[in-house]
Amino acid sequence: MLKSVFKKFSKDMGMDLGTANTLVYVPEKGIVIDEPTVVAINKRSGQIIAVGSEAKHMLGKTPPHILVSRPLTNGIISDYEVAEKMIKYFIEKVHEGGVSFVTRPRVVVSVPLGVTEVEAKAVEDGVIAAGAREVLVVQEPMAAAIGARMPIQEPIGNMIVDIGGGTTQVAVISLSGVVTWKTSHFAGDEMNKNIIQYAREVFNLLVGESHAEQIKLRVGSAIDMGTPMEFPMRGRDVITGLPKEIMVSDQHIREALERTVRSIINLVKMTLEITPPELTGDIHERGVLLTGGGSLLRGLDQVISEAAEIPVRIADDPLTAVVRGTGILLEDDALLHEVKLPSARSR
């Protein structure tokens, strides 16, 4: 009886709590929040000044009393208090300004592969403290595969490569479970760091993280796409200390990203090497699916396909695959029961 009351008044939600972006899905409405996982806090008062895109624009531009924090590192909560405030902000935003006892939602939230019990408990505790009545945890590649409508319940090898901001996760899924997997911190944020390091070493230029990401999106690629591209790189000259701008080409950025791209390819190969032969045969026939923002790097699918000698395709709207998967699970209790992780709070 009580559950039906909760269901009537609360907006249950699926949450992709990512290193770079947080997305929230509400049944019958779809994706209602898609914001950077960034929070700006006034250290004097402890109050949140901005969340999401507004806070991200403040990175590197704030006075000492304003802290701009990214509360997740490599997909794991690294600043519990800030993460709780951010999640609470998003839950209240979905519920139009307030969460009462009756409107406390049920939340399906994703976590990376290989999280420890302590890390999983931090996510559950954070979401509960932020206003949820129940938290159900699923693995990110599993949610992404469900969101991409892969036949995960069948005895077939489904290989998914989820390239997020903080982690790249490669998983082989069959019969609603992860059979083999590998994970690495070589992902989207590492690509940004590659560009920052390259700018310093090659051009003696100090570049900010937001600008490096902008360069990656505009001219970044894993292979030569045939059309030369250029983009202005702006920063501070290491030698003179003065502002400086140079034009960089897609070739420059390709060189900068080469190490991370090679690491992702090796991760795929290593996962294939430990996959049972029967499932490897399925993957060779069916191919590999790429999800996550990092999969949008131009030519990455082609490079992986050539190196692993298997077909590779990018999911439709790869940025939202995980949160769409959590949304599907909200409406399919049987499947949710199959794929959810045991609660770390009850142990």
Say what the pLDDT of residue 102 is. Answer: 59
Say what the pLDDT of residue 180 is. Answer: 98
Closest CA to 227 of 251, 260, 252, 261: 251
Closest CA to 220 of 299, 132, 285: 299
| 127-173 pLDDT, tens digit each | 999 999 999 999 999 999 999 999 999 999 999 999 999 999 999 99
How confident is residue 2, by pLDDT bands cut at 50, 70 and 90?
very low
Say what the pLDDT of residue 7 is. Answer: 54
| Cβ contact 298:221 at 8 Å | yes
d(CA 116, CA 153): 25
Predicted TM-score (pTM) above 0.75: yes
Mean pLDDT, residues 24-37 taken together? 95
Please give the structure tokens belonging to residue 116. 């420890």
| 45-98 pLDDT, tens digit each | 988 999 999 999 998 889 999 999 999 998 899 999 999 999 999 999 998 755
Query: What does pLDDT average to over the chain?
Result: 93
How confident is residue 11, by pLDDT bands cut at 50, 70 and 90?
confident
Q: Which of 98-107, 287-296, 313-322 has the lowest mean pLDDT?
A: 98-107
Residue 15 in this model has a pLDDT that exceeds 60: yes
Say what the pLDDT of residue 8 is. Answer: 52
| 258-315 pLDDT, tens digit each | 999 999 999 999 999 999 999 999 999 999 999 999 999 999 999 999 999 999 999 9
Chain CA centroid to CA 70, Å: 13
- Strand 158-163 to 177-184 pairing: unpaired
d(CA 293, CA 161): 11
- Answer with the residue of higher pLDDT: 2 or 135: 135
Say what the pLDDT of residue 249 is. Answer: 97
Say what the pLDDT of residue 75 is. Answer: 87
Residue 99 in this model has a pLDDT that exceeds 90: no
Q: Which of 9-23, 29-43, 90-104 has the lowest mean pLDDT?
A: 90-104
| Residue found by looking up tokens 């026939």 in the block | 285
Residue 208 in this model has a pLDDT that exceeds 90: yes
Please give the structure tokens belonging to residue 247. 């034009």
With a pLDDT cut of 70, the percent of the chain lying above it is 95
Q: H helices within the chain, ranges in order?
A: 2-9, 53-56, 80-94, 117-129, 140-147, 188-203, 209-219, 250-273, 277-286, 300-308, 321-330, 333-339
Mean pLDDT, residues 313-318 taken together? 96
Residues 6 or more apart whose CB falls under 8 angstroms from that of 98 comprise 92
With a pLDDT cut of 90, the percent of the chain lying above it is 90
Say what the pLDDT of residue 346 is. Answer: 67
Rounded to 5°, angle at Cα 28 from 22 and 30: 30
Domains of the chain, CATH where assigned? 2-143+321-339 (3.30.420.40), 150-186+269-318 (3.30.420.40), 188-257 (3.90.640.10)
Q: Which of 8-17, 91-100, 312-321, 332-341 has the lowest mean pLDDT?
A: 91-100
